[in-house]
Amino acid sequence: MAKFIMITYYLLTAFIATLFFWNFWQEKKKIDRQILYLLVLIPLLLRLLRIK
Amino acid sequence: MRTKIILLICLVFILIWPAIQLYQHRHFQIPIVAGPGVTRVTKLSHYLPALKGTMADTWIFWLEGQESGGKALILGNSHANEPEGMLAALVVIENGLVERGTLLVIPQFNHSASRATRPGDGYPLYFNIDTKWGKKKFRMGNREASPLDQWPDPDVYLHYPDKQLLSFLDARNVNRTWPGRPKGLLMEQVTYAAMELIRQEKVDLVIDIHGAETMFPVTNCIVAPEKSAKLATMVSLTVKATEKFDNHVEPSPPKFRGLSHREIGDYSDAMPFLLEAPIPFLDQPTGPKTEKFLLDGKDPFLLRLSRKNKLFVPYDETGWPIDKRVGQHLSVTLEILRQYSRRTPERSIIIHNVPRYAEVVEKGVGYYFQDPSQVRRDRIYLN
């Protein structure tokens, strides 16, 4: 059960990371927003890459 | 588009720099030398095969005497940010010679925690101990297991089997998951495996070695439940009289669940003891959490608090060096074994060649570590 929940959370993390990346890519004008999307992406990527 | 690409390159750069350091830290191996007293080395997963192949599996070093007697288990690094427990355990592994009975030593009980860190507190990733042959490098771990090995955290941790509500973080704290269960969270599996070890091997004494803040009342002490209290009191009085350091006895609260000093006693025949030595590094109102501070325990802010009587231990310019902390733990451990052996001669555990407080303070803990490059390869265990 714990493993199933863990995998579900990894899938959720991947989904949210994809959303942030999509928003970053779609943002055309505001550079501050682009930077914010990338900053928020960092912990999600570190977890997906199993580094932290 | 150009801005986006530049930003992405910056992101990759920002990611790679810490990622390499964190990856190296998680995979850094400490060579443990099995000293002349070590007769065999097994893994904790022997008692719960589900742990095999996980980061939670860890080495158990067996020091068996010629004569049969009692059995004692020493746990280091239940909290991997309290390294005096691991260092004391390693001194026993590398030097101890058991004449009678058996000593089991697990130097990295929360192995997963030893491969995580707490960057929010600015912990150093490593620390070095001076030895006769150079510096021995160790990973600095965290209090809780790595979230890479047990994740996600619950909103509230429900202790098994007492259903007590504990902090969500304690789900990864191996000293809140005793007595554990075989199909529970990874840390519950670790404590369950240790309980199986204690029950199957008929362990008489369990000594769980920790460090605690100087501003926390349960520090510089032996925490003991009712069944261990008499022995702990004798040990406390003896080290005070003969070795001139304080180590008072704290009762194990019966209603605070999940701790080794409570659950091991309640769920097995063993007598548990939890040893605490002051580790100023863990206090909050301090200067930077540097490697030097971890090892010498000197901090100007704690010194000012000490002058205002805000600390629970004596504190002066000499701090609380690691040698003193390890020395205390070794003396108290040896005294527990000695007092128990005196009381129950048929289950006695007699060990030699482990230094006591005064020797460790004089020579330094590094003096007792062997040079791995001068030891046969089959006597080295990477942890």
- What ipTM was reported for this prediction? 0.81
Res A4: pLDDT: 86
Nearest CA in chain A to B9: A38
Confirm whether A51 is domain-assigned. Answer: yes
Q: Say whether A38 and B151 touch across the interface (CB within 8 A).
A: no
Res B119: pLDDT: 72
Q: Say whether B19 and A50 touch across the interface (CB within 8 A).
A: no
Q: Average the pLDDT over B231-244 and give the result.
A: 97
Q: Average the pLDDT over A9-31 and give the result.
A: 93
Q: Average the pLDDT over B14-22 and give the result.
A: 90
Name the residue facing B4 among A5, A6, A34 (closest C-beta).
A34
| Confidence check: pLDDT of B197 > 90 | yes
Res A14: pLDDT: 96
Cis amide leading into B285 (omega within 30): no
Q: Average the pLDDT over B241-269 and give the result.
A: 96
Chain B partners within 8 Å of A50 (Cβ) = 148
- Alpha-carbon gap: A23 to the closest alpha carbon of chain B (Å): 12
Res B1: pLDDT: 80
Confirm whether A2 is domain-assigned. Answer: no
Name the residue facing B19 among A34, A38, A46 (closest C-beta).
A46
Res B141: pLDDT: 97
Confirm whether A41 is domain-assigned. Answer: yes
Lowest-confidence segment of B12-16, B139-143, B367-371 by average pLDDT:
B12-16
Q: For testing the chain A interface, which of B4, B181, B186 should be mutated: the one with the most A CBs within 10 Å? A: B4
Count of domains in chain A?
1
Coil vs helix vs strand at B155: coil
Name the residue facing B152 among A6, A24, A51 (closest C-beta).
A6
CA–CA separation, B91 and B88 (whole Å): 5
Query: Which secondary-structure segment (H or E) carries B262?
Result: helix B260-267
Residue B65, token pair as written in the block: 């005497």
CATH number for the region B2-382 comes to 3.40.630.10
Tell me which residue range forms the domain holding A47: 16-52
Coil vs helix vs strand at B78: coil
Residue extents of the structural domains in chain B: 2-382
Nearest CA in chain A to B188: A2
